[in-house]
Structure 1
Amino acid sequence: MSTELLTKFLTLLFGYAMPALECFKSIEQRPGRTDHLRFWCEYWIILVILVMFDEIAGALISKIPMYYELKLAFLVYLWYPKTSGTDIVYETFLQPLVMQYQPNIEARLQYLRANAGDILIFYLKNFTERGYDLFLRALDYIRSQASRGSRTRSFFSFRGDRTERPSFIDDYGVGGDRRDAARHRRPRGGY
């Protein structure tokens, strides 16, 4: 457990925080050096793809031994100046792949941008309908458990009486309300 926590902390430090600081310094301190900006843009593109892979293949990742340690080593490889890992991964693998599918990706993203409101409304409506149905099922389950629990509570009572308590339905007279039923039971005039 402690090695996993340490690995996640080191991944946050060396995979996200330190590269973000270096990217910030490239933008603010060296505005004329586009090679640094290109390097960090390539790094963040690779990192986003890696994070997307992590999210999609989450269950499979847990089966790979030492995955997070390998991920940490890969992230350090990407930004470490002597390895030029970002340049190699980007130019060898990522750039040719994205360039091949770029028109298709652009068309799909354009469609999503144009219909984002409709898609959002569809998912919200679907979620609220299913959420409402789930809520009603939960209430029905709680009600059934409560009614079953009241019967067993009276049966296993420690007071010694094994009779059922009258329900509040018995308080109502036929055609009347609770106050009418109470008037008929109590004598008028005093307690």
Structure 2
Amino acid sequence: MRWFTILVRKAFHIVLATSFVHLFPPKHHPRALYFLNDVLRQDPTDVDELMGKAYVLQYAEKWEEAEKLFAQAGNRMHADPGVDALKEVFETLKDIEDRGDIDKARRLWRIGRCYWDLGGESREEAFKSFITSLKHNREYAPAYTSLGVYYSKHASPPVPTRASKCFQKAFKVDACEAEVARCPVEGFGDERG
């Protein structure tokens, strides 16, 4: 029974700490620190509380301490739970033969979009997902569109001919792809400058 009380207390302290950090900052930060420190004493790796304490220190202009806590939290953060959930769905679908390849292609493309939205190094993972999506269904227009955007905006150096081919293929497969119509027009406008 004691462990249950401890868990409930910790849960309340997490909610209170989070609330006090963001409610009219920095007015309630002294209260927030009390709860943050209590939770961090029990679990020094709690990402949300590390972030909360870093925000408080940032408002107090204690930059170096805040930076350390932000770095600690960043190192402990998982990339994105949504990506893992989509991968799980994909693995489940992989075992079901009667589902069409369009479903697999769509899920892989969505996983790629999640990686794309994470930005930075995750864009390379997005690229791999877009390619794999097309391996499952060569007629899946959003994957071509995403590859076109990758080649035109993220590839180093940009590869406009590949981007153009991807956009053309996406348009050929599905003329309703909104991004397909916009990207080549923007590229043409940039060239005319």
TM-score by length of 1: 0.26
Larger radius of gyration: 1
Normalization by structure 2: what TM-score? 0.26
